[in-house]
Chain A
């Protein structure tokens, strides 16, 4: 019987296998950020260990970093200590770091692909649950905790039990105005936040094949939001074209050898997945969340559901609680929901393609009264590129705030937060209670919906303009 893509990549990385033990997997690329690494470096220090492969490790600062006055010292002393700790650890252990002010500083999942370090067939880990983003290249990429970060630093391996495999077959042409973000939000609403638990997922089908790398990254990014261990897309010409010429992409004969290998990374025709889910892309429309987990979503054209729409008692109770937290009444059209803040950014939708798409919508318009919009490029290089293209001017003329790169209001560890009771339309990936600031209320949306919402002040898509 043939093998799936994920099984091929897995098998190529098994260092050791023994009965009753998880496989020991080799890790090709370890990305590090300031929040989940200090205790890991400390552990190494206490045990007198080193980072085994500094040449397979890279760090950046993203979660705590300010998006205003980035050349000034970080104002919050605790955030400053965490960032300073990363800098000191990187220096002590010899780890490459992209710090604030550097063109390759930015959200860790944006800079790996941008530098060409994220490549097909690699194992990629990071102390961050959205590591699955890198799976868009056909890498096996997953988030790990701090103890595992220390384990990878010390050994360049991780013991891992092999998950089951799942195919998500997405077929048909996406209607105009429907993006990768809408696809993944609709998928999560369909399967639930636990639907992927225990699986490595492969997104496939002609919709995915026609999608840009940015779109594939958006979909893989949110794999964790439905519980999947990792999300992958088989590499193809789109992948190779994206990588070619990037700083760390192979060159010359190495490029040819790499591409020859990458072309073997697909699911064999006779391979069998443990589970399959089908999505008909032609039936999709802009999709938004109404609740406090990413599975609580509906088409933008629908109304807020009520607890009675859910048969399962757990889902019913969750809906009741979510409606209360979100201060929403069942039956309210989603279109009528007013927002205070629009956040365009994050590792889900902070790439150049996302900024271009949103800029196209807001160009020449002006922002709705009383709405603030933060545009936070995913990396300093995305910011520079957007400025070269004049996107910053489009956003600022519109009335949005043009900020420096980082995680920003995706999780509100820096000063960019919602105030209690404030409501946002956000292109990020989590609408959890308090995620964007204590008491803040989040609706997850695509960049196009974010832009149209900023114009109208209520949840909207470009078709509503």
Chain B
């Protein structure tokens, strides 16, 4: 994973609540077996609508999404994170996120910045007053700079640390291999195993 310390880019106001991962990328787009190429499916139901924010030229090249509450709820599909990243988003700002989506984002390197809904409203207003305006998101200071205003955002310390250092979770866990093996040696023998396979008579 690449290190992330700060990012400056065009802010896109998405004035909708409950944008679930089916809206971010519908199931028909999930059939690829790679991690790339999902940008076509991003918000696909809305991409033909000229009024949709990403279809407005000022916002098309956006990289910071200011989302409504309960963004990324529903399905566990990490494809939603990849679609946002493949499109060019680096940061999602919002007041409430689906748990699995937030976890997936942290693993994949997409920064989820949590602020109060009142801050979201202010950020929407700023991004709409000057379409195409750039925001800066600083992970070191945990701040968003929008125009001449600065807002603090929340992110859990461990995820922030991993993003700042660009650490790979699996590599970290494998350094604890001894602990895993020790734990395994204490598991009771009656716990189920999938192998050898047993099936009903």
Name A's B-contacting residues (CB within 8 A): 15-16, 20-22, 24, 26, 28-29, 35-36, 38-39, 42, 47, 49, 54-58, 63-64, 76, 78-79, 81-82, 85, 96, 103-104, 115-117, 119, 122, 127-129, 143-148, 150-151, 154-157, 159, 161, 193-194, 197-198, 224-225, 227, 229, 246-250, 254-255, 257-258, 261, 292-293, 314-315, 317-318, 321, 381, 411-413, 430, 432-435, 438
Contact = CB atoms under 8 A, between A and B. Distances in A.
Nearest to A118: B192
Contacts of A128: 75-76
Given A24-B179, A122-B191, A411-B27, A150 B170 contact: yes
Nearest to B15: A317
B194 A24 contact: no
A411 B184 CA distance: 37
A227 B73 contact: yes
A122 B33 contact: no
A430 B74 contact: yes
B188 A432 contact: no
A413 B179 contact: no
B23 A413 contact: no
Nearest to B103: A145
The 9 closest A-B pairs by CB, nearest first: A145-B104, A147-B107, A38-B33, A145-B78, A254-B190, A247-B198, A78-B31, A146-B78, A143-B76
B2 to A, nearest CB: 14
14 contacts: A35-B30, A96-B195, A115-B200, A122-B192, A127-B76, A145-B103, A194-B70, A250-B190, A412-B28, A413-B28, A430-B20, A433-B23, A434-B26, A438-B26
Given A193-B18, A318-B17, 6 more contacts: A15-B179, A38-B33, A129-B100, A293-B18, A318-B18, A432-B22
A194 B96 contact: yes
B13 to A, nearest CB: 14
Contacts, number: 212
A104 B180 CA distance: 31
Nearest to B191: A28
B99 A321 contact: no
Nearest to B190: A254
Contact of B195 (A55, A81, A104, A246): A55
Given A104-B199, A434-B45, A147 B108 contact: yes
Contacts of A57: 194
A293 B33 CA distance: 29
A42 B100 CA distance: 21
Contacts of A261: 188
Contacts of B107: 145, 147-148, 151
Contacts of B173: 24, 151, 154-155, 157, 159
Contact of B190 (A29, A76, A198, A257): A257
A36 B78 contact: yes
Contacts of B7: none
B34 A15 contact: no
A258 B18 CA distance: 42
Interface in B72-90: 73-79, 81
Given A20-B158, A227-B99, A26 B180 contact: yes
Contacts of A76: 31
B17 A314 contact: yes
A103 B199 contact: yes
Nearest to B46: A433
Q: Is the interface of B mostly helix, strand, loop or mixed?
A: loop
B45 A438 contact: yes
Given A38-B33, A150-B170, A155-B180, A144 B69 contact: no
A438 B43 CA distance: 12
B194 A55 contact: yes
Contact of B96 (A197, A430, A434): A197
Contacts of A36: 76-78
Contacts of A24: 173, 176, 179-180
Contacts of A229: 99
Interface in B19-75: 20, 22-23, 26-28, 30-35, 45, 68-70, 73-75
A103 B70 CA distance: 39
Contacts of A144: 76, 100, 103
A321 B16 contact: yes
A293 B70 CA distance: 11
Given A247-B199, A254-B190, A412 B170 contact: no
Given A143-B100, A254-B190, A15 B30 contact: no
B157 interface: yes
B148 interface: no
A122 B197 CA distance: 19
Nearest to B193: A55
B174 interface: yes
A413 B27 contact: yes
Contacts of A432: 20, 22-23, 74
Interface string B147-189: 0000000001110000000000110111010011001100111
Nearest to B18: A293
Contacts of B172: 159
Contacts of A151: 107, 169-170, 173
Contacts of B99: 197-198, 227, 229
A315 to B, nearest CB: 8
B17 A39 contact: no
Contacts of B96: 194, 197
Contacts of A315: 17
B188 A129 contact: no
A354 B138 CA distance: 52
Nearest to A144: B76
Contacts of B132: none
Nearest to B171: A47
B98 interface: yes
Contacts of A161: 156, 158
A464 to B, nearest CB: 31
Contacts of B108: 145, 147
Nearest to B173: A155
